[in-house]
């Protein structure tokens, strides 16, 4: 292949050029880093002048999202503004007028307009950036506890902080918020260690070392920091020690990866003794930390700690990353490894881009067209003038005297005429256009700010436009990329419903009364029914309960359980309370016995099968659950709400309080078969220790698909009932779990335990061996029921997404959550409709490649497309299908798996994970195929993606499809995505201000996005587009009149008008009507746009601004200029208008043209305005009135004041009948084509907008949302959630005017948007494995393979190994009359609690 030409390379370089790249600080290539603690730096880090080597100087912890500094503002802003071709042209014309031959007025005044335009734009940009600086300052000036004091010094280098607008003006602050040289014990910025020091001596009056609150931006590499519970992490920090046993720490990482469950981290073992400020500052034990170079991989970090000659490895499990939050841990002491731009979250973010709206980019080609027209006009004038001079000079024309010199001849004069024509016709490119756009967009930003419907009362947060120049882009969005956590969801769970033993419990409806009062009432009712049993109260109120020593037969008062973090409300169900009350007194063999066993077993599994920790308040005895995920917290909390209170664990002993026993039930935890995404289940094996019942139980929870296939045969009716309940739960968008158990014989467990131990210690294929052995035990389970948890969405999310889909906007969700969670959220948010087909693409080292999976997806679901023929991939897909054919799992819904299922109606949703995207984003062929598949789906969900992958996905769609994109998020992991999109929206949520600081618009709730796009975006785009084409039109009218005059002035580039009329054309006479369009026009009212999202298609289809529309308005202007000029010229030159018979003067009839042109232009703009309000009337007639007043005054100025060419013109102008008759005639003829077109369009070919405007005009009190779309009000299939869940067919836009009807109000067909209330189960096809299943809402979030779980498994393994060869404790033999298969717990058969043993 031949190398590209110079022109091609230049064009490519110009296309990829970015202004910000010129001002980005070029950082040297990152190098491996060594952090030195309590020791001097080695010599190789210094140069020969003892200056630090730059490659070894880490950056400051200051993070800046702003664009400008004091130094770079002027050059960068000017470069950005001169990307507008018109600005370059205006400067050229201004310079041209400095030459006397082309001067019209004072040269200084000529520069004034362009200076004003540039200045106002610069002021607006500066204001926007100052707001960014203020946001940066709030982040950088957060405080953290840093080790300080005379005994401590950090020897490591630190880079210099950048001086921005704020830092350049305000004097430099000290490093600490307190004076480190003279600390005061009463200073709140100083803290000391009391309980954590290895040498807990009282600190003296002048301590040598302490913790000082320091600004984030002043944190340096090598600093020791102390992070307290719920504090954000300021940098990437190596954990030295924590308050927890075995130096664990729990962090919330949803700001990095979107996952809601907590992650466990552990300290470096060799640094675990650094538990106080004194320990950290000790010089007796120096050490170093050697780190690999900073990289973007969020899940990998390689480092080594060298201490006392011993080297210890460090991985990501020992590091707290910036952007995470410390949870459920009192404190952590850590060492700063990476700061600022070296931290992983910042490395995954880009620099603040300089965005331009699509309308602004489209203006450049139109300006080029006008410039080409201007050049053509100037060339014609130059050539014509030169030819006329050549013809008339030999004939002795007196005005051509001496026209044969080197500086004065036809050729030179033709060139001068060409340049003069550029000045004469310069208004073809209006200089006031850009300043008008800036004014209008600034006002539109204020309209957004003051919109009360987008004001969040809870936090007093209005919607804020941080970038004023993108308002019209909001009306053209075609793709939305959204984060999940914090954007769509609240990261809070509600236990909604459950199915137990075939009975479903929906839960009591939410009420406005205080939940604590309700819970206490529930407890009172239960205790009134059963005095010898106690339900667990879960009120938050104070209690006198204490935390007594737990013994095997200790009788306890009702436990007080505080509402767990991440759980919104308590679970309560009146029917469940009654059933539990009856179950407590169930007699053996009675009809209530089966339901009693099911209830006891169900909630016992919820209360025991988990990894939740308990925290007991030592003063009140109140229990609080601390879970790694809100899912587990909601499950355990729900069990406690109904009386099954998990009281904590004493090493391997689990403590449970139930309504069936007054004593605390004790269970020995033997094994944990942990949850993984592949297993989709979690099981524990426990031995009951109370009384004479010492049986072994396996308690399991997981996905319905894996639990049902492991159930014991029998009970088919019960299984079918539970399946129906699961379908109902999934249809309501709830996250489901299925619960089961089995009783394990002692000898079977002994044999299995041997095999499990061998598998867990195997050197080869350990994971597979463990899974195989675990699967052996998890067989022949007995079904208990299912749970349904709601991942509480942000208010209005399902409705908003449904309406955005109706608007024709494709929605892609990019989240760091696992696949099941992403699907569950997609379903609950209406992204996945009731009848959607889910296509799953997975990455990995085994199975088909990602390309093969996508190819099969096309063959299976889109066989009618020609994608494969274009890609030439059909043969590859068939030949490689080999061992992974599509197969079907057994389901109860035959319609899902019938032949031709791929073409079933309902649409498709693509789900692809981050590993697959790694393969897609590096290969152009994969990119194109992903775009082909993605664009044929109703939505796309990308799970397990990194922040950088989010940005790459946005760029892939934006550049590959050339569409308008919007990204919305609320966390630091969304910054790169927000910056990559055409429009970035940040949500001011709980995850900090990083997303908002980098966004173009800041909203408080996701639901406000609907109004922002459908109303303000639509209005802004329609207003701006119409205003711009009307701007070009009105200038073409004026320039056209000047052009036709050249025919009669020898093509000399002379002005037809008196110059001031032309000077004020864009500033006084015609500016108000176009500004009125830009500020006050409404295509339809806001409530109509909100009720009919389909109208948004006008914006997506670029109806209001395009090159075609531009040419239509240009031609309209040319045609109007013809009628205005030639009719008036013919009228005035047919006979004189003066009573004395003298001939007319130029300005006498040209002023008539000015009046006619201004009136015609103003009324033409009025014709293009959809709503005539008082402000529109004022704007349209303002210019006409100003022109009249100006003419009366200007023509009356006597030469004694200053000389003008129009003095006395009023007498001839206004006294002429031609002046008064030409106005209505010329204006009517000029406007006739546009008027006829609008009349025909409204009367004979009305569109949706015309119909809706007509309805609003004729029936102003009609609620169109109710009258025209009645089906939107009653569509609530799940009363408990009050969610409107449309089918995917509702995402297809419908035209209001598509159905013929005599009455416009009835033109909207209700049938076109009728809801399909028939439940069609969602099919899921995994293209990697070929498995097709029915989706029943399974989802469960927890940390997989975390440090805490590994430590628990290690403790269990050590305990099992230590007792392997010891005889088991004597256990009471089970009576042969007892049938273990009939009961889960012996306590069910008790009528009353046993009498405590006196010996105890």
Helix, strand or coil, per DSSP, at residue 712: coil
Half-sphere exposure of 367 (CA within 13 A, CB side): 21
Burial class of 544 by CB neighbour count within 10 A (0 to 12, 13 to 18, 19+): exposed
Q: Which residue has the tokens 């030195």?
A: 36
Helix, strand or coil, per DSSP, at residue 719: helix
Half-sphere exposure of 120 (CA within 13 A, CB side): 17
544-551 contacts: CB < 8 A, separation 24 or more?
A: 544/620, 545/620, 545/621, 545/622, 546/621, 547/616, 547/618, 547/621, 550/647, 550/650, 550/655, 550/664, 551/664, 551/1400
- The two structure tokens encoding residue 1308: 């909207």
Helix, strand or coil, per DSSP, at residue 267: coil
Q: Which residue has the tokens 């981050």?
A: 914
Q: How far apart are CA 264 and CA 109, in angstroms?
A: 69
Set 472, 483, 704, 982: catalytic member: 483
3-state secondary structure 395-461: CCCHHHCCCCCCCCCHHHHHHHHHHHHHHHCHHHCCCHHHHHHHHHHHHHHHHHHCCHHHCECCCCE
Q: Which residues of 645-670 are buried (b: 16+ CB within 10 A; e: fewer)?
A: bbbbbeebebbbbbbbbbbbbbbbbb
Other beta carbons within 10 angstroms of residue 287's beta carbon come to 20
Q: Which residue has the tokens 């995505």?
A: 977
Q: How far apart are CA 167 and CA 350, in angstroms?
A: 22
Q: Which residues of 1101-1116 are buried (b: 16+ CB within 10 A; e: fewer)?
A: ebbbbeeebbeebbeb
* Residues constituting the chain: 1400
Q: How far apart are CA 337 and CA 303, in angstroms?
A: 10
Torsional sign, CA 749, 750, 754, 760: positive
Q: How far apart are CA 871 and CA 853, in angstroms?
A: 14
Q: How far apart are CA 854 and CA 866, in angstroms?
A: 14
Contacts of 490 (CB under 8 A, 6+ apart): 568, 792, 793, 794
Q: Is 1248 one of the catalytic residues?
A: no
Q: How far apart are CA 763 and CA 777, in angstroms?
A: 22
Q: In 3D, which of 361, 360, 144 has the Cα closest to residue 233? A: 144
Q: How far apart are CA 1075 and CA 1180, in angstroms?
A: 10
Half-sphere exposure of 310 (CA within 13 A, CB side): 7
Residues of the chain by 3-state class (helix, strand, coil), percent to 5? 45, 15, 40
Q: Which residues pair with 10 in a beta bridge?
A: none
Q: How far apart are CA 149 and CA 286, in angstroms?
A: 18
Half-sphere exposure of 400 (CA within 13 A, CB side): 23
Helix (H) or strand (E) holding 123: helix 107-140
Contacts of 351 (CB under 8 A, 6+ apart): 20, 24, 979
Q: Which residues pair with 673 in a beta bridge?
A: 683
- The two structure tokens encoding residue 1131: 């009228």
Is beta strand 210-215 parallel, antiparallel or unpaired with respect to 735-744? unpaired
Q: Which residue has the tokens 């024709």?
A: 808
Q: Which residues are catalytic?
A: 483
């Amino acid at each position: 292949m031949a190398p590209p030409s110079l022109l091609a390379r230049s064009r490519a370089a110009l296309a990829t050029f970015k202004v910000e790249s010129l001002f980005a600080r070029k950082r040297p290539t990152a190098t491996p880093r060594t952090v030195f603690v309590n020791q001097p730096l080695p010599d190789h880090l210094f140069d020969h002048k003892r200056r630090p080597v730059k490659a070894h100087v880490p950056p400051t912890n200051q993070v800046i999202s702003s664009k400008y500094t004091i130094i770079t503002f002027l050059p960068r802003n000017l470069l950005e503004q001169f990307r507008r071709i018109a600005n370059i042209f205006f400067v050229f014309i201004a310079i041209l007028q400095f030459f006397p031959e082309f001067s019209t007025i004072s040269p200084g005044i000529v520069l004034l307009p362009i200076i004003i335009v540039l200045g106002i734009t610069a002021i607006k940009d500066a204001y926007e950036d100052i707001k960014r600086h203020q946001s940066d300052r709030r982040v950088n000036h957060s405080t953290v506890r840093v080790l300080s004091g005379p005994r401590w010094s950090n020897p490591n280098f630190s880079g210099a902080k950048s001086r921005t607008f704020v830092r350049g003006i305000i004097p430099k602050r000290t490093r600490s918020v307190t004076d480190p040289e003279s600390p005061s014990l009463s200073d709140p910025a100083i803290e000391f260690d009391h309980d954590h020091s290895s040498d807990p001596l009282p600190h003296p009056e002048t301590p040598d070392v302490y913790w000082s609150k320091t600004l984030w931006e002043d944190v340096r590499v090598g600093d020791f920091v102390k992070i307290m519970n719920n504090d954000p992490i300021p940098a990437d920090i190596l954990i030295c020690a924590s308050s927890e046993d075995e130096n664990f720490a729990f962090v919330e990482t949803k700001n990095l990866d979107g996952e809601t469950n907590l992650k466990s981290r552990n300290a470096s073992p060799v640094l675990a003794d650094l538990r106080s400020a004194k320990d950290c500052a000790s010089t007796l034990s120096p050490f170093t930390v050697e780190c690999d170079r900073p990289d973007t991989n969020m899940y990998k970090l390689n480092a080594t700690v060298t201490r006392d000659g011993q080297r210890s490895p460090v991985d990501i499990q020992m590091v707290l990353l910036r952007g995470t939050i410390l949870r459920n841990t009192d404190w952590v002491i850590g060492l700063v490894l990476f700061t600022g731009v070296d931290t992983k979250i910042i490395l995954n973010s880009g620099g603040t881009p300089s965005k331009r709206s699509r309308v602004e980019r489209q203006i450049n080609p139109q300006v080029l067209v006008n410039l080409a027209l201007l050049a053509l006009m100037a060339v014609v004038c130059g050539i014509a003038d030169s030819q006329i001079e050549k013809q008339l000079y030999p004939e002795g024309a007196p005005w051509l005297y001496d026209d044969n010199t080197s500086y004065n001849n036809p050729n030179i004069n033709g060139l001068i005429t060409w340049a003069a024509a550029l000045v004469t016709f310069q208004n073809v490119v209006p200089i006031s256009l850009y300043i008008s756009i800036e004014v209008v967009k600034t006002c539109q930003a204020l309209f957004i700010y003051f919109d009360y419907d987008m004001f969040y009362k809870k936090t007093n947060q209005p919607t804020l436009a941080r970038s004023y120049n993108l308002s019209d882009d909001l009306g053209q969005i075609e793709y939305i990329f959204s984060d999940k956590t914090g954007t769509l969801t609240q990261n809070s769970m509600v236990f909604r419903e459950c199915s137990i033993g075939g009975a479903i419990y929906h839960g009591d409806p939410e009420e406005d009364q205080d939940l604590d009062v309700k819970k206490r009432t529930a407890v009172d009712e239960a205790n009134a029914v059963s005095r010898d049993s106690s339900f667990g109260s879960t009120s938050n109120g104070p209690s006198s309960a204490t935390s007594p020593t737990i013994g095997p037969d200790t009788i306890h008062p009702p436990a007080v359980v505080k509402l767990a973090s991440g759980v919104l409300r308590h679970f309560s169900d009146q029917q469940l309370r009654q059933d539990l009350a009856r179950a407590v007194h169930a007699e053996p063999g009675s009809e209530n016995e089966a339901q009693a066993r099911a209830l006891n077993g169900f909630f016992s599994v919820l209360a025991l099968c988990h990894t939740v920790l308990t925290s007991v308040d030592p003063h009140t005895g109140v229990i609080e659950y601390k879970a790694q995920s809100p899912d587990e917290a909601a499950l355990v909390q729900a069990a406690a709400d109904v009386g099954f209170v998990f009281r904590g664990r004493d090493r391997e002993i689990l403590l449970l309080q139930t309504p069936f026993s007054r004593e605390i039930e004790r269970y020995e935890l033997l094994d944990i078969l942990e949850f993984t995404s592949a297993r989709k289940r979690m099981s524990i094996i426990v031995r009951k220790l109370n009384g004479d019942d010492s049986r072994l139980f396996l308690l399991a929870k997981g996905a319905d698909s894996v639990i049902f296939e492991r159930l014991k045969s029998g009970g088919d009716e019960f299984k079918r009932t539970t399946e129906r309940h699961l379908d109902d739960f999934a249809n309501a968008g709830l996250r489901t779990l299925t619960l089961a158990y089995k009783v394990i014989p002692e000898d079977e467990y002994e044999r299995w335990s041997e095999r499990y131990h061998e598998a867990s210690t195997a050197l080869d294929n350990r994971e597979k061996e463990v899974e195989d052995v675990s699967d052996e035990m998890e067989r022949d389970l007995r079904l208990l029921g299912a749970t349904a948890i709601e991942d509480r969405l942000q208010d209005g999310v399902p409705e908003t997404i449904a309406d955005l889909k109706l608007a024709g906007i494709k929605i892609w969700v990019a989240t760091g959550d696992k696949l099941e969670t992403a699907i569950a959220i997609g379903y609950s948010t209406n992204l996945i409709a009731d009848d959607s087909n889910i296509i799953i693409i997975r990455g990995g080292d085994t199975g088909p490649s990602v390309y093969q999976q996508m190819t099969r997806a096309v063959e299976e679901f889109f066989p009618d497309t020609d994608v494969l023929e274009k890609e030439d991939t059909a043969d590859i897909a068939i030949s490689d299908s080999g061992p992974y054919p599509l197969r079907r799992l057994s389901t109860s819904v035959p319609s899902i798996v019938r032949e031709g299922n791929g073409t079933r109606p309902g649409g498709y949703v693509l789900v692809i994970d981050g590993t697959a995207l790694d393969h897609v984003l590096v290969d152009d062929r994969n990119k194109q195929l992903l775009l082909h598949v993605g664009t044929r789906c109703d939505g796309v969900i990308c799970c397990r993606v990194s922040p950088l992958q989010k940005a790459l996905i946005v760029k892939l769609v934006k550049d590959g499809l050339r569409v308008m994109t919007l990204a919305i998020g609320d966390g630091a992991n969304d910054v790169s995505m927000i910056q990559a999109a055409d429009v970035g929206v940040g949500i001011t949520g709980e995850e900090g201000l990083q997303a908002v600081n980098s966004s173009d618009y800041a909203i408080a709730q996701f639901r406000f996005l609907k109004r922002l796009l459908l109303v303000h975006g639509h209005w802004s785009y329609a207003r701006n587009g119409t205003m711009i084409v009307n701007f070009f039109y009105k200038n073409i009218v004026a320039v056209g009149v000047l052009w036709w005059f050249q025919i009669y002035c020898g093509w000399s580039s002379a002005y037809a008008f008196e110059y001031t009329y032309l000077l004020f054309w864009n500033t006084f006479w015609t500016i108000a009507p176009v500004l009125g369009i830009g500020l006050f026009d409404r295509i339809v009212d806001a409530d109509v746009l909100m009720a009919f999202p389909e109208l948004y298609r006008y914006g997506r289809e670029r109806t209001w601004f395009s090159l075609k529309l531009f040419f239509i308005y240009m031609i309209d202007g040319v045609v109007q200029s013809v009628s205005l000029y030639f009719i008036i010229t013919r009228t005035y030159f047919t006979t004189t208008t003066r009573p004395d018979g003298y001939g007319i003067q130029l300005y006498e009839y040209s002023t008539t043209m000015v009046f006619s042109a201004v009136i015609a232009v103003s009324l033409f703009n009025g014709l293009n305005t959809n709503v005539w309000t008082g402000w529109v009337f004022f704007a349209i007639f303002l210019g006409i009135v100003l022109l009249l007043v100006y003419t009366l005054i200007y023509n009356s100025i006597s030469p004694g004041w200053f000389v003008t060419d129009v003095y006395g013109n009023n007498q001839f102008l206004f006294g002429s009948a031609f002046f008064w008759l030409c106005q209505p005639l010329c204006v009517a003829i000029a406007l006739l084509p546009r008027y006829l077109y609008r009349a025909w369009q409204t009367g004979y070919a009305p569109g949706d907008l015309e119909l809706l405007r007509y309805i609003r005009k004729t029936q102003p009190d009609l609620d169109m949302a109710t009258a025209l779309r009645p089906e939107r009000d009653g569509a609530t299939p799940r009363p408990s959630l009050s969610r409107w869940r449309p089918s995917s067919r509702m995402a297809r836009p419908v035209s209001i005017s598509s159905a013929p009807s005599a009455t416009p109000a009835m033109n909207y067909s209700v049938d076109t948007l009728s809801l399909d209330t028939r439940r069609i189960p969602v099919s899921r096809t995994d293209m990697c494995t070929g498995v097709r299943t029915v989706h029943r809402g399974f989802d469960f979030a927890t940390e997989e393979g975390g440090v805490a779980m590994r430590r628990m498994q290690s403790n269990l393994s050590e305990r099992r190994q230590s007792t392997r060869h010891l005889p088991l404790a004597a256990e009471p033999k089970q009576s042969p009359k007892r049938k273990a298969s009939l009961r889960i717990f012996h306590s069910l058969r008790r009528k009353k609690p046993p009498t405590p043993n006196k010996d105890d």
